[in-house]
Amino acid sequence: MNANTNANPFDTLQDELDRLAQEEFVKRRRFDQRVSVLIFPAERIDGALQLARMGASVTLADTPGQQRTVEGRALAAGQRDQISFVPMTLPELPESFGGEPFDIIICRRALCGLPYPEARQIVRQLMQRLKIGGRLYISVLGMHSALSEGYEGYEQPIEERYGRLSPAIANKYCIDHPVCLYTERNLFLLLLEAGASVLRTLTTTYGNVKGVAVRV
């Protein structure tokens, strides 16, 4: 087990993934006034609002029950024209998100709720929703985080790793469904097998894993 089992397994609001995506947006904005971004799930709307304030056209995707909250916060922030919502329930993607192909796609932890083969298929489909040269920013819950203590899938290879967290951990972090936890190598291979060109991967201090890939 990883020694960091008492750490918070989730990341701070302004994390490395946000920073990298915003830097990419700024670069693209120099050459194209319309930069389109897809973000899912929509639970952390603050990053979407920041990109909208910077001039991005942002699509947020999440379960239908999140639509009122997202649209209300966008309206309150004065960004209603810059932010749209598309209902989505994984493992299915909408036929169209609108605004495609995207310059940037940001996916936070959503794939952890799927078995690895299904997650790979979703990433493959997401890459097709990007422009050539578009970038995917992805984060997943890590095997070397607090979540791995008592995790059912700890000994399983990644293709079969899908199980529940220990009751205590699941209750503490409100994760009551099976998950797939990733090592950095697992995420690298996921992106590679989905047809992406991997630019970088990293592991956070909390043990979560992040990656950046490009469509070529």
pLDDT, tens only, 176-189: 999 999 999 999 99
| CA 18/CA 137 separation, integer angstroms | 9
Cis peptide before 9 (omega within 30 of 0): no
The answer as to CATH 3.40.50.150 being correct for domain 16-214 is yes
| CA 148/CA 128 separation, integer angstroms | 32
Q: For 14-61, write each residue's pLDDT tens digit.
A: 478 888 999 999 999 888 778 999 999 987 788 899 999 999 999 999
Residue 2 CB-half CA count within 13 A: 21
* Count of C-beta atoms within a 10 Å radius of residue 205: 11
> What pTM was estimated for this model as a whole?
0.91
In contact, 59 and 86? CB cutoff 8 Å = yes
Sequence letter at residue 106: I
β-strand partners of 89: none
Mean pLDDT of 98-110: 92
Q: Which of 13, 19, 7 is nearest to 205 (CA)?
A: 7
pLDDT band at residue 2 using 50, 70 and 90 as cut-offs: very low
Q: What is the DSSP string of the chain?
A: --TTTTS--S--SS-HHHHHHHHHHHHHHTT-S--EEEEES-S-HHHHHHHHHTT-EEEEEE-GGGHHHHHHHHHHTT-TTTEEEEE--TTPPPS--SSPSEEEEEEESGGGGS-HHHHHHHHHHHHHTEEEEEEEEEEE-BTTSGGGTT-TTTTS-TTT--BPPPHHHHHHHT--S-B--B-HHHHHHHHHHTTPEEEEEEE-TTS-EEEEEE--
β-strand partners of 107: 40, 138
In contact, 117 and 159? CB cutoff 8 Å = yes
Q: For 165-213, write each residue's pLDDT tens digit.
A: 999 999 999 999 999 999 999 999 999 999 999 999 999 988 999 999 9
pLDDT band at residue 9 using 50, 70 and 90 as cut-offs: low
